[in-house]
Amino acid sequence: MFLWQPRLLLHYRIQQQLTCRCVHSLASFQQVSRLPERKWRGVVFPFSSLEGHLDRSVDRGDFQLFHPSEEDLQRAERLFTPSAKHVILYTSSAVRMDHVPEIQQPEVCFIGRSNVGKSSLIRSLFSLAPEVEVRVSKTPGHTKKMNFFRVGQAFSLVDMPGYGHKAPRDFVDMVEPYLQARENLVRTFLLVDGSVGPQRADLVAVEMCEEFGLPYVMVMTKIDKVRPGILLPHLLQVQNLIKTQTKYCFAQPFLVSSTQFSGVHLLRCFITHVTGNLQMDSTTS
């Protein structure tokens, strides 16, 4: 039935031998959890480092809706760790819906402006599988196709082309049909640059997600590039946008840094949860 599996396993073993597994020390939650508690919590839950800068009148509740346990984080990490029986790999690219691979497993996709750091974030999510090729360019707008990654039999992840002035010419014809017609799409992750806050193009993307009735999440990237005094107003702006102008967006915005791995472990856990691979008793999704 699965004639391709022996070839994939052989490819995996060869890549394991040829690839230098130079994994960042903060890529693994097991390593992060060995840090002093205040420090590892700041990495895993970036909002905890900002909370002290907030005015007392600000409700903290919506920033901590998804708060998994250490056990949950460890279980999620295992899903992002490859093995011979759990292969994580890039599978294909597509520019039209008739090129999109037909799969049954749950799927998540990442969209955002061309220079928001989308591919960098995906590479950090897959950092425990360095043999997975996620191309990251210094030139904004590098991603011109829909790139599909498979995480074993658990779920697939799609890196979408960036929108904005560097978007591919056929962006609308490529992306909108996918978002509207992809039946196994369980969550869209809308990335916003934390160093500049939501831009006009981001607001258009929010309107599109709302129009299509998509369950989506807003993720603020590059939080290591800006001081708390600048990041916080942008975070509050996003939170106000979610509260006042959205119906289908998850109430909690996520904060991430692809280089410092802040929030990456939490995002892995959330993806694992919304794809049905991690059951949690006390969370809203």
Summarize pLDDT for 172-184 with one digit per residue, the tens.
Answer: 878 889 999 999 9
Range of the domain at 85: 5-274
Residue 285 in any domain: the answer is no
Sequence-ordered alpha helix ranges (H) in 97-199: 118-125, 171-181
Residue 281 in any domain: the answer is no
Residue 113 in any domain: the answer is yes
Read off the pLDDT band of 16 (50, 70, 90): very low
Query: C-alpha angle 75/77/81, rounded to 5°?
Result: 120
Report how far Cα 88 is from the mean position of its chain's Cα atoms.
Answer: 15
Residue 236 in any domain: the answer is yes
The burial class, CB within 10 Å (0-12 / 13-18 / 19+), for 167 is buried
Residue 284 in any domain: the answer is no
What pLDDT does residue 217 have? 98
Residue 280 in any domain: the answer is no
Residue 202 in any domain: the answer is yes
Summarize pLDDT for 86-145 with one digit per residue, the tens.
Answer: 999 999 998 888 888 888 999 999 999 988 999 999 999 999 998 898 866 555 545 578
What pLDDT does residue 15 have? 43
Token pair listed for 118: 């989308």
What pLDDT does residue 281 have? 65
Residue 134 in any domain: the answer is yes
What pLDDT does residue 5 have? 47
What pLDDT does residue 125 have? 97
Read off the pLDDT band of 244 (50, 70, 90): very high
Distance between CA 126 and CA 18 in Å, rounded?
A: 18
242, pLDDT greater than 60? yes
Report the chain's mean pLDDT, rounded to a whole number. 87
Query: C-alpha angle 80/125/42, rounded to 5°?
Result: 105
- Give me the CATH number covering residue 181: 3.40.50.300
What pLDDT does residue 98 have? 82
Structural domain total, the chain: 1
Q: 8: how many CB neighbours lie within 10 A of its CB?
A: 15
